[in-house]
């Protein structure tokens, strides 16, 4: 927009140089890890900058590792259930907040916004004891319950914005025909907020998939750990040097699906992220 004004070749060169620096800074660590994950150990642990050999050794190793495979399954279950529960309960609540008139709506909305910024660490010990009392300590269900702390308020907030942005005439006709609010929600509004559901669902999934503090604190056995915990605790057969090849391969296995999601849904993700903040 503005860069069109200055046609000076020097400025154009500097501008593209800046673009190149931004790209290298953003992409290099990821690409370096990707290349490292394909370098066999004897090549990886050399001081050569360029790989002399590439192979799938580390990927075979991590997929033979029962602990890692189990953690992948756990992460999928935990993140998936968290998303489904927060979308189901959150969008009902957001529908009421965004479309229906009722008393104390403003305080409820304000409370939701405050909750989106609530620091999880400040209820860590309370959750720890609560999970023990409920018998949910060291279980996937327990993790799902605690993950709702950050996914629910966020889902409600963003979905409320989506419901609000739909034109009023949509449901008025349906109400005239005698439809109930639930029918209006299911048959008219929910299909229209599908983009919003995709955005918030993706963001909630990424947040739950990446969560570390709760997973580290509330699980103890290998059968219940999620992927970030296992990646943080990777240790080799010899304790002398960490198995960097396996760590990088495991890292890529959990990251590449996210990168692909980001590439496909770039527009939706940005819309969800900024709806959570800029409109606030």
Site for another protein in 176-235 (CB under 8 A): 181, 206, 209-210, 212-213, 216-217, 227-229, 231-232
Site for another protein (CB under 8 A): which residue of 7, 9, 10, 25? 25
Site for another protein in 141-170 (CB under 8 A): 145-146, 148-149, 152-153, 156
Site for another protein in 75-94 (CB under 8 A): 85, 89-90, 92-93
Structure tokens at 267: 């527009």
Instruction: Determine the size of the site formed for another protein (CB under 8 A).
Output: 92
Only one of the segments 16-24, 62-70, 170-178, 193-201 lies at the binding site for another protein (rule: CB under 8 A); that segment is 16-24
Say whether residue 119 binds another protein (CB under 8 A).
Answer: yes
Minimum distance of another protein from residue 184's CB (angstroms) = 11
**Beta carbon nearer to another protein, 62 or 96:** 96
Site for another protein (CB under 8 A): which residue of 42, 187, 235, 266? 266
**Beta carbon nearer to another protein, 146 or 200:** 146
Site for another protein in 123-142 (CB under 8 A): 123-130, 132
Site for another protein (CB under 8 A): which residue of 13, 110, 118, 175? 118
Minimum distance of another protein from residue 183's CB (angstroms) = 13
Distance CA 275, CA 278 (A): 6
Q: Give one DSSP letter per residue of the chain, joined into a string.
A: --TTT---HHHHHHHHHHHHHHHHHHHHHHHHHHHHHHS-HHHHTSS-SS-S---SHHHHHHHH-HHHHHHHHHHHHHHHHHHHHHHHHHHHHHHHHHH---TTHHHHHHHHHHHHT--GGGGHHHHHHHHHHHT-TTSHHHHHHHHHHHHHHHHHHHHHHHHHHS-THHHHHHHHTT--HHHIIIIIIHHHTHHHHHHHHHHHHHHHHH--HHHHHH--STTT--HHHHHHT---SSSSS--HHHHHHHHHHHHHHHHHHHHHSHHHHHHHHHHTTT--
Is the separation of the CB atoms in 215 and 229 below 8 Å?
A: yes
**Beta carbon nearer to another protein, 53 or 129:** 129
Binding mask 49-68 for another protein (x = CB under 8 A): x-------------------
Site for another protein (CB under 8 A): which residue of 121, 170, 173, 194? 121
């Amino acid at each position: 927009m503005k860069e069109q004004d200055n046609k000076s070749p020097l400025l154009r060169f500097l501008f593209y140089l800046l673009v190149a620096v931004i790209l290298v800074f953003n992409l290099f660590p990821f690409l370096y890890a990707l290349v490292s994950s394909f370098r066999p150990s004897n090549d990886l642990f050399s001081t050569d900058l360029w790989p002399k050999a590439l192979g799938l050794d580390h990927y075979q190793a991590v997929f033979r590792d029962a602990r890692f495979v189990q953690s992948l399954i756990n992460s999928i279950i935990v993140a998936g259930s968290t998303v489904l529960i927060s979308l189901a309960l959150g969008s009902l609540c957001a529908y009421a907040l965004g479309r229906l008139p009722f008393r104390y709506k403003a305080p409820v909305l304000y409370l939701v916004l405050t909750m989106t910024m609530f620091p999880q660490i400040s209820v860590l010990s309370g959750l720890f004891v609560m999970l023990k009392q409920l018998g949910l300590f060291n279980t996937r269900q327990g993790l799902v319950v605690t993950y709702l702390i950050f996914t629910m308020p966020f889902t409600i907030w963003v979905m409320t914005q989506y419901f609000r942005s739909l034109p009023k005439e949509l449901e008025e006709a349906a109400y005239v025909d005698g439809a109930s609010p639930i029918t209006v929600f299911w048959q008219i509004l929910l299909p229209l907020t599908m983009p919003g559901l995709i955005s918030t669902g993706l963001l909630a999934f990424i947040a739950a998939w990446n969560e570390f503090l709760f997973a580290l604190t509330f699980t103890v056995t290998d059968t219940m750990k999620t992927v970030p915990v296992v990646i943080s605790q990777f240790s080799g057969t010899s304790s002398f040097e960490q198995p960097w090849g396996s760590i990088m391969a495991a890292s890529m296995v959990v990251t590449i699906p996210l990168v692909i999601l980001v590439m496909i849904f770039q527009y939706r993700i940005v819309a969800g992220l900024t709806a959570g903040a800029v409109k606030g």
